Structure 1
């Protein structure tokens, strides 16, 4: 039996999905618990426990990784984004560019017994820090959308859902909206979580707020009955290292998808069969959308092929045995010559890391919105604590 302690910074879509796959691993003899990084205690890591840090780069993770290395304890690191290559001046990019965050990230990745990724592109990049990289298949939990009722009507809905950090990718889509709406009167664009720059919500361009809970988000997406799903990705290193999550979601929801012709989609989408792969040129995107709008039969056939492929390749029970096998192997390989997790000095180290993390938080917040935003967020935290 392998015992995995998932250590997370926050509840996000990635952590929800990982909890699903870890739950599916139970039938293969792998058990797990979840703990927030800022609540982690030495007593949580027993001699038989294998910690798995999930996307952690907070300065606190550096203290824990150093403690585990000193005690000859094995741990796993999971990462599904190239944090080193995030572009732009948004808060996420600023955060991962900070030297202390980089140091925490690189030390923790470098000393992991195994680094888990879902993309061969990301595996190649991460291997410069650690050659012990495992590429495990991504997955989709079909139980999330079982019984979801779809809205009906004659509208041809074209949709995209994502975080505000995806706004650069939507620059590829923005110029298409007006000509598509003008040419095809039944079309509607729907965006959830982010709007393209220069595009305003209106009667035929709908905007829905970001949904933080993944299960709610995926049920929302399934319920909207999108005829076409958009998956634009600007071609750069960070995007090439992403997982094919849009393909899995669109396929599972029986949505015909149009995808930028770069990894991760290039490796999985069969052009004009289970999706459309398109170069990032405005006229090509417009041509692909027009073809799908004009051909309901093609959309249905494409959506059905994608659904069958996702069901066969990504269904949670199908991939859980590969994940479980890795954890069993890590458990088997871990050193039995371990030392106690020494508490001496760790308390001061942890306090120092907390000071660092709050300093980074203030710096990033200031860059985002100046003194006013810093004051507002600090006041909000003090109010919550009080």
Structure 2
């Protein structure tokens, strides 16, 4: 479903306050970061549009009231940003990962390790009117590097809780999802999964979406599900799988420590209680024993927490607490209000002629 205004809709609701989002690509991240909350703003006189970074044209700024650059890294975007500011259009640059310090052991990070790419990103960060970070830790790092950054939570649409089917013969379902880039994270706790398999004597079925450990066939019961790239479809699938516990491991690397609490949002939205890495991305969201569990870096700690979660008769209460928290912080309506505040603050500066070309 598209949340873009058609030309006919624009004519009816004109004048619209248009937000233009630019990114190197389009995928679930754009849905999470913008589409979910911007769709709410449509009922309040806002419109938004999307352009690929490699296809920008000066005409894209026509009618634009706010330019949002998401993970942009091309030299042409610097010129586009400067043109926007010359026209008095405020610019917000957003990062949801610490791309100025990419992981040295991941092939995808090679692009961001190039000096020219880093220079372009630093220029965009420096010349944007404001920088939005995907986590408190990332905002802190950007501030320390001299950029004006702030953190704002992402949206998570809570799905209605499905009717839980009676688990066959006390079968527990323990699941994990992620892109292939996260294989090292799930590999790090694979010894814990093998131990859980032994302790529960085959009463646990392990399920993986999009990413799985190389030795998954050693598990007595294991199911590999294909990756779903549509975010709404992914959440529906996740909810339908009826997992007892969801896993969110992260290796303790500087890059991972600046990531967002994405799996807490997604598991909670899909009605799943989680065991999360005891690292900065989840320490703010997860209250151990109240709305989930935090596990340390050693596999034995994951064995302990997964076992505790599976045996807990009050998992439903912890899920309810997690959903209540997400409802107050991550609902698309709440995030939309925050975006409207950002927009109105920028427009106040525009009226005062405080948005000028560098």
TM-score (norm 2): 0.85
Deviation track 1:226-251 (CA, whole Å, cap 9, x = no partner) reads 10010111122222221111111122
Q: Which runs of 5+ in 2 are unaligned?
A: 1-15
2:281 counterpart SS class: coil
Of residues 76, 90, 98, the one that matches 1:82 is 98
- The alpha-carbon distance between structure 1 residues 41 and 246, as it changes in their structure 2 partners (threshold 3 A), is same
1:52 counterpart SS class: strand
Query: Corresponding residue for 2:23?
Result: 8
Contact 1:151/1:223, CA 8 A, preserved across alignment: no
Of residues 58, 65, 73, the one that matches 1:49 is 65
Query: Corresponding residue for 1:232?
Result: 249
Distance 1:337 1:183 in 2: 63
Distance 2:258 2:354 in 1: 36
Distance 2:194 2:212 in 1: 14
Distance 1:152 1:171 in 2: 31
**1:262, CA displacement in angstroms?**
1.2
Query: Corresponding residue for 1:309?
Result: 325
Of residues 54, 64, 68, the one that matches 1:38 is 54
Distance 1:5 1:103 in 2: 24
Query: Corresponding residue for 2:231?
Result: 214
Q: CA RMSD in A?
A: 2.5
Distance 1:263 1:47 in 2: 40
**1:203, CA displacement in angstroms?**
6.0
**1:25, CA displacement in angstroms?**
2.5
Distance 2:126 2:87 in 1: 16
Higher relative contact order structure (alpha carbons within 8 Å, sequence separation ≥ 6):
1
Give runs of aligned pairs for residues 1-386 of structure 1, distance below 5 A: 2-17=17-32, 18-46=34-62, 48-68=64-84, 73-142=89-158, 145-146=159-160, 153-154=167-168, 155-184=171-200, 185-200=202-217, 204-295=221-312, 297-334=313-350, 336=353
Aligned pairs, number: 337
Distance 1:339 1:235 in 2: 41
**1:108, CA displacement in angstroms?**
0.8
- The alpha-carbon distance between structure 1 residues 89 and 63, as it changes in their structure 2 partners (threshold 3 A), is farther
Query: Corresponding residue for 1:371?
Result: none
Distance 1:81 1:338 in 2: 27
Q: Which runs of 5+ in 1 are unaligned?
A: 341-386
Contact 1:173/1:196, CA 8 A, preserved across alignment: no
